[in-house]
Amino acid sequence: MSHIVVHNGAWVVVGDGRRAIFLANHGDPDLLDLRVLQAVVEEIPAARDLGSDAPGRLFSSRGGVRSAIEPTDWHELEKENFARHIAQRINTAAESGEMKEIIIIAPPRVLGEIRKELSDKAHSKVKGELDRDLTRHPLPEIEKALSREFTRM
């Protein structure tokens, strides 16, 4: 893994498909002091409340064969929408100059969605990524994970 430095003032976003915490480093690269800038929690309703009907059926043009359409995974769609929302927040901060650099920590699928939605300017400010779910971890554990992952040569 390459050497990533979490500078003073750098943002760290820790997210999954339902919650995200925007943090800022108030310490130095060797001794992180992450503080919460903003916490975002999205309540995703139960699956029975998201979808309305049973999956549809397709009819073949020949022979009258029917086949089922795979049901929509409404929870995955909600997680993708939430990842887009997080990416928009990052884009806004990058465009306004509110953020100098950022490290993104999220599970692989969410990280991919966020990465896909970032503007060029926001993408240029990404100094590191970590594909782990740390949203339910306390700040000292997030700091420890960052130090362990990013300060190795």
List CB contacts of 101: < 8 A, sequence separation 6 or more: 7, 10, 11, 125, 126, 127
According to the model, what pLDDT value does residue 105 have? 95
**Alpha carbon distance 112, 125 (integer Å):** 16
pLDDT tens across the length of the chain (153 residues): 456 789 999 999 999 988 999 999 999 988 999 999 999 987 766 655 655 565 666 566 666 666 666 666 666 778 888 999 999 999 999 999 999 999 999 999 999 999 999 999 999 999 999 999 999 999 999 998 888 765 443
According to the model, what pLDDT value does residue 56 have? 60
Instruction: List the domains of the chain with CATH numbers.
Output: 11-43+73-150 (3.30.420.60)
Residue type, 30: D
